[in-house]
């Protein structure tokens, strides 16, 4: 997930290793904060709970017996939740601390799972498997400077008949300030990285010291275009007027266990979801 504690400053330069290094350092810090946070509720998970939402569960469908790759998995609660539903899971994240914690949880709870520490752009050289399902969710695209190699990686790692699924915060939200007003930046990705100081995180807003980090805006049209160019056939694309998480400062509960922008009636896009299949695939059933 992304977390903006102040109005971002648009940078003109492209994405470089320094920006990605700063972001990796941030997620090492956030993993330590998140491990004990009520947001992630590790004790509830240890007691048998699931971190997945009704949206993903309903749209991904039955995973029993299928191989599932979870990209940008953080410390693996969603990955392990899919494993509890019968999937054969592999989780990937660029944070050493997150992957280590995920592995410890899998061992402690005796949940079969594999976790790999890798930058997403370097994963192809580390993993030769092909997967029935590739899954990623909530606040992942913001951290990727270039979506074209991301989409190509997904297409490369899908098995014949395999599907890709993402549930993600709508890029429209990147235009809103902490009061839910906007616009404060560009909806499109041609302005380069967005630099800002993160203090705390969406799961622990009052913890930690300010840390410089960088995000990249990606429009809906860009997301759909790179998936199509990579050879993925869209099965559905949906926009949702709610967030399953209270992770932006301008949200309020909608009375149904979800969150909408404060002062609205839920008519603003908050999340999108899509499922796509390799164009050369036969119906996997």
Residue 46: predicted pLDDT: 98
Q: Which of 238, 247, 234, 248 is nearest to 269 (CA)?
A: 238
Residue 158 contacts residue 71 (beta carbons within 8 Å)? no
Per-residue pLDDT, 279: 80
| pLDDT of amino acid 10 | 30
For residue 120, give the DSSP letter: G
Which residues 6+ apart lie within 8 Å of 257 measured at CB? none
Residue 191: name the closest of 15, 5, 3 by CA: 15
Determine the pLDDT at residue 284.
Answer: 43
Stated length of the chain:
285
- Residue 28: Cβ within 10 Å count: 14
**Ramachandran class of 72: left when φ > 0, alpha when ψ lies in -120 to 50, beta otherwise:** left
Angle between helices 147-157 and 220-229 (to 10 degrees): 40
pLDDT at 196 (0 to 100) = 85
Distance CA 133, CA 135 (A): 6
**What is the structure's pLDDT at 188?**
80
pLDDT at 281: 52
Q: Do residues 90 and 129 touch, judged by C-beta distance below 8 A?
A: yes
Superfamily designation of domain 9-278 = Vaccinia Virus protein VP39 (3.40.50.150)
pLDDT tens, the chain, 285 aa long? 654 433 333 333 344 788 999 999 999 999 999 999 999 999 999 999 999 999 999 999 999 999 999 999 999 999 999 999 999 999 999 999 999 999 999 999 999 999 999 999 999 989 999 999 999 999 999 999 999 999 999 999 999 999 999 999 999 998 888 777 777 777 886 767 888 888 888 888 887 788 999 999 999 999 999 999 999 999 999 999 999 999 888 999 998 899 999 888 778 899 999 999 988 754 444
Domain residue spans of the chain? 9-278
DSSP letter assigned to residue 152 = H
Task: Compute the half-sphere exposure of residue 228: CA atoms within 13 Å on the CB side of its CA.
Answer: 10
């Amino acid at each position: 997930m992304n977390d903006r504690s102040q109005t971002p400053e648009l940078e003109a330069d492209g994405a470089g290793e320094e920006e990605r290094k700063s972001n990796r350092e941030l997620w090492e810090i956030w993993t330590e904060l998140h491990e004990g946070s009520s947001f992630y509720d590790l004790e509830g998970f240890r007691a048998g709970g699931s971190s997945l939402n009704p949206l993903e569960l309903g749209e991904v469908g039955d995973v029993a017996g299928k191989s599932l790759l979870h990209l940008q998995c953080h410390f693996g609660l969603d990955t392990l939740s899919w494993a509890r539903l019968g999937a054969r899971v592999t989780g990937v994240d660029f944070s050493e601390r997150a992957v280590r914690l995920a592995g410890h949880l899998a061992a402690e709870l005796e949940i079969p799972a594999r976790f790999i520490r890798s930058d997403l752009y370097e994963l192809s050289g580390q993993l030769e498997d092909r997967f029935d399902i590739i899954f990623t969710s909530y606040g992942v695209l913001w951290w990727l400077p270039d979506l074209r190699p991301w989409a190509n990686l997904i297409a490369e790692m899908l098995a014949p008949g395999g599907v890709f699924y993402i549930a993600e915060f709508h890029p429209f939200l990147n235009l809103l300030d902490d009061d839910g007003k906007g616009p404060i930046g560009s909806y499109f990705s041609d302005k380069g990285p967005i630099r800002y100081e993160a203090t705390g995180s969406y799961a622990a807003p009052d913890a930690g010291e300010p840390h410089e980090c960088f995000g990249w805006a990606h429009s809906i049209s860009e997301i759909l275009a790179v998936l199509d160019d990579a050879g993925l056939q869209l099965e559905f694309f949906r926009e949702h007027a709610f967030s399953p998480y209270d992770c932006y400062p301008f949200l309020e509960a909608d009375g149904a266990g979800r969150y909408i922008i404060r002062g609205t009636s839920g008519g603003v896009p908050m999340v999108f979801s899509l499922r796509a299949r390799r164009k050369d695939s036969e119906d996997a059933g």
